[in-house]
Structure 1
Amino acid sequence: MNAVSIGRTIRSLRKQNNMSMQELGDKVALSQASISRLESGVTDINFAQLSNVCEVFELTLTEFFAMVEKQMDLKLNVSPVEVKTIDDKLIDIIQQLSDDQKKGLYVLLQPYVK
């Protein structure tokens, strides 16, 4: 999942709701130019911005990311060795996050934990 796929999903939601970039920007306190950069994947969206976008479209973060995954048509078939490598990479990434970023990630991942 990357900025481009997230941006495409935001653009799709905006168009489905017959909303201009300016209208979405007004609702989430961003300029039309900022919305354009987010939708094109030039700029990464932060947690607060994504939460605001989800609120506008009456989606949970879980629902939003499910849409992103569906749009990307993800089919992950990984071996146990690859999973270990992914685990190691995730640990490295998480260790570099601030406490607030870790809290945001925790909230984001909690629905996926059984």
Structure 2
Amino acid sequence: MDKLGKAIRLLRHQNGWRQGDVAKRLEISIPAFSKIETGVTDLNLSRLNQIAKVFNLTIVQLLYYSETEEIKEPTDEVKVISEKILQREDEIIHLQKKVIQLYEQLYQN
């Protein structure tokens, strides 16, 4: 069992959930979830995000948990980086809106 799978299993046990409970939340089969826990299935970022959300964690916390086997509050550095990421996401959305507006102006004339 790989570290991440083991951490997911431990989190599931800490919540008192069965594999079926988590599988249902992830909208996958129990055998598919079992493969995640045992490390047979490699996780993509989307699935990792879904799993983190099921346990009310961020991806960073989930990955950190898999290394330490205990959930800790994010450090100040992680908080600062997370805030910067959110700001950048807002900037990207703003720029996307501008591109759409310019595109519409270009093709309306």
> How do residues 1-114 of structure 1 correspond to structure 2 at under 5 angstroms?
4-71=2-69
* Cα distance in 1, alignment partners of residues 63 and 2 from structure 2: 13
The CA RMSD measured in Å over matched residues stands at: 1.8
Structure 1: which amino acid aligns with 2:9? R
Q: Which has the larger radius of gyration?
A: 2
Partner residue, 1:80? none
* Cα distance in 1, alignment partners of residues 7 and 62 from structure 2: 8
Gaps of 5+ in 2: 70-80, 83-109
Superposed displacement of residue 63, structure 1: 0.8
Q: Compute the TM-score of the two structures, normalised by the length of structure 1.
A: 0.58
Superposed displacement of residue 37, structure 1: 0.6
Partner residue, 1:87? none
* Cα distance in 2, alignment partners of residues 46 and 30 from structure 1: 14
4+ runs deviating over 3 angstroms: none
